Amino acid sequence: KTKITKICCIGAGYVGGPTMAVIAKKCPHIQVTVVDLNTERIAAWNDKDVANIPIYEPGLSAIVEEARGRNLFFSTDVEKAIEEAQIIFISVNTPTKTYGKGKGKAADLKYIELCARQIAKISKDDKIVVEKSTLPVRTAEAIKSILDNTGNGVQFQILSNPEFLAEGTAVTDLLHPDRILIGGETTPEGQEAIQALVDVYSNWVPEEKILTTNVWSSELSKLTANAFLAQRISSINALSELCEKTGADVNEVAKAIGMDSRIGPKFLKASVGFGGSCFQKDILNLVYIAKSYGLDEVADYWEQVIIMNDYQKKRFSTKITQTLYNTVADKKITFFGWAFKKDTNDTRESAAIYVADDLIAEQAKIAVYDPKVSREKILADLDYLKTRSQEENTASLVSYENPYEACQESHAIAVLTEWDEFTTYDWQKIFDSMLKPAFVFDGRNILNKTDLESIGFIYQAIGS
């Protein structure tokens, strides 16, 4: 049985970075090297000032500070790290395909395949290769085929070990996971590989929380978990509109149903729509897989979660325009928040991008304040949609470092992210600096309606 002393992780992103930092913290006897092709990103992970690491997550910089240089390393030397490690995690991005067959739905596996080919080429001794990225069910088969057909005759074991952390709470989720899922082959060699990875996690995760399955169950469980979580949000968001029509309050409805222990209280917060790099991508992938097996009803069922979410984002921007007397042309509208959720600087698939795009199409002037997202990132997100030229986007959107300045002479404020600080602002001061009537569209239901109305705001929430 090989003793694990060196781990390598390919991909220093939102998953690879925090996950490996926590493994390094909890396993001081294991050398953990995180590699990436992106030299800028690696340089940021190595920045002397830990405040400059590329990913903002509460608690992360302290862990990096503790472990970096001791047994946690960030490097662009992919080959060396692969060669030395006994376990190689693949944690690269698996975005939705933007070309060819399955465009707009299937997962793009080109980065995964590159990793597999590189591992095969470099490995001179037996390796355990761990799928940490979220992958379509049966991807391990393809990885195995590439490794076995292009390798140097060494043995590879492929494990599926999906990551369930949520951004904004990554460190807590990694330190105290609900479960660790490890899928592997049922052969003795497969079981031995599973045990090697179990031994890594059991340095801090109780054994009863480490679940082992076959590879396909593990791969499919990740897509399933994300589909179920997103489905709850689309379900409550679907009802939020019915609440608005009937006088019911979606927060009260969510509380009432969430107290049923069979339903549970989490993931029932109505919103402007879910964002993030995972939910949409993974459901589209699930839909694509179901379709590829001819399961049209199954595919349509899950696709509805996405359709509902797109509708919820659209509904929010339409409501803003309609409420502002059917025109937002040349009106300043302030966005509080651009990140897809609080406590992260990640903006991938954030609802804010789509709402801004709709309002700019109506010729609104958008002013953004987000405590963690830079102006360059905001404009890049908008440009990425390719709705209009870069010049037009730059002329239509300004970002501010100060929330109060962002609100001056504004017609309306739209809350797009649930950052805690928004609830503690001097809302009277904000009101005084705005044009009247002053509107607040709370896409996250975090502000106090009674307080805002007593100041003089016209306040609209989601689902009440």
- Residues 340-369 contacting ligand UDX, CB under 6 A: 340-341
Between CA 53 and CA 60, with CA 59 as vertex, the angle to 5 degrees is 30
How far are the Cα atoms of 165, 182, 205, 236 from residue 209, in angstroms, in the given order?
15, 11, 7, 30
131, 143 in Cβ contact below 8 A?
A: yes
Q: How would you class 426 by CB atoms within 10 Å of its CB: exposed for 0-12, middle for 13-18, buried for 19 or more?
A: exposed
- Residues 364-383 contacting ligand NAD, CB under 6 A: none
If you write DSSP's letter for every residue of 396-450 in order, what string do you get? HEEEESSHHHHHTT-SEEEE-S--GGGGGS-HHHHHHHS-SS-EEEETT--S-HH
Q: How far apart are CA 117 and CA 7, in angstroms?
A: 18
Q: Which partner from the list ligand NAD, ligand UDX, none does 275 bind, CB cut-off 5 to 8 Å by kind?
A: ligand UDX
How many helices and strands, by DSSP H and E, does the chain display?
A: 18, 14
| 407 noted as active-site residue | no
159 binds ligand UDX (CB under 6 A): no
33 binds ligand NAD (CB under 6 A): no
For residues 37 and 211, which CB has a smaller minimum distance to ligand NAD in the complex? 37
- Applying CB under 6 A, among 31, 33, 134, 280 the residue interacting with ligand NAD is 134
For residues 278 and 397, which CB has a smaller minimum distance to ligand NAD in the complex? 278
Give the bridge partners for 335, in sequence order.
368, 414
- Residues 43-102 contacting ligand NAD, CB under 6 A: 78, 91-94
Of 9-17, 67-75, 173-181, 407-415, which part binds ligand NAD (CB under 6 A)? 9-17
Q: Which partner from the list ligand UDX, ligand NAD, none does 267 bind, CB cut-off 5 to 8 Å by kind?
A: ligand UDX
- Applying CB under 6 A, among 31, 231, 271, 280 the residue interacting with ligand UDX is 271
Q: Which of 235, 203, 193 is nearest to 87 (CA)?
A: 193
Query: Under 8 Å CB-to-CB from 87, ≥6 apart: which residues?
Result: 4, 6, 7, 8, 127, 128, 130, 196, 197, 200
State in angstroms the smallest separation of the CB of 353 from ligand UDX. 12
Q: Which residue has the tokens 């990694």?
A: 174
- Applying CB under 6 A, among 212, 218, 277, 350 the residue interacting with ligand NAD is 277
- Applying CB under 6 A, among 16, 275, 403, 443 the residue interacting with ligand UDX is 275
Q: Are strands 31-35 and 6-10 parallel, antiparallel or unpaired?
A: parallel
142 binds ligand NAD (CB under 6 A): no
- Applying CB under 6 A, among 37, 142, 166, 198 the residue interacting with ligand UDX is 166
For residues 115 and 272, which CB has a smaller minimum distance to ligand UDX in the complex? 272
How far are the Cα atoms of 87, 92, 160, 175, 297 from residue 284, in angstroms, in the given order?
30, 18, 20, 30, 14
For residues 37 and 50, which CB has a smaller minimum distance to ligand NAD in the complex? 37
Peptide bond just before 95 cis, omega within 30 deg: no
- Applying CB under 6 A, among 278, 289, 359, 412 the residue interacting with ligand UDX is 278
The 3-state DSSP class for residue 183 equals: strand
Give the bridge partners for 398, in sequence order.
367
347 binds ligand NAD (CB under 6 A): no
Q: Which partner from the list ligand NAD, ligand UDX, none does 289 bind, CB cut-off 5 to 8 Å by kind?
A: none
Q: Which partner from the list ligand UDX, ligand NAD, none does 398 bind, CB cut-off 5 to 8 Å by kind?
A: none
State in angstroms the smallest separation of the CB of 140 from ligand UDX. 19
146 binds ligand NAD (CB under 6 A): no
10 binds ligand UDX (CB under 6 A): no
123 binds ligand NAD (CB under 6 A): no
Q: How far apart are CA 305 and CA 154, in angstroms?
A: 44
From 8, 9, 115, 278, the catalytic residue: 278
| Residues at the contact surface with ligand UDX, assessed by CB under 6 A | 163-167, 226, 229, 233, 267-269, 271, 274-276, 278-279, 340-341
| Residues at the contact surface with ligand NAD, assessed by CB under 6 A | 10-16, 35-38, 41, 78, 91-94, 111, 114-115, 133-134, 163, 165, 167, 277-278
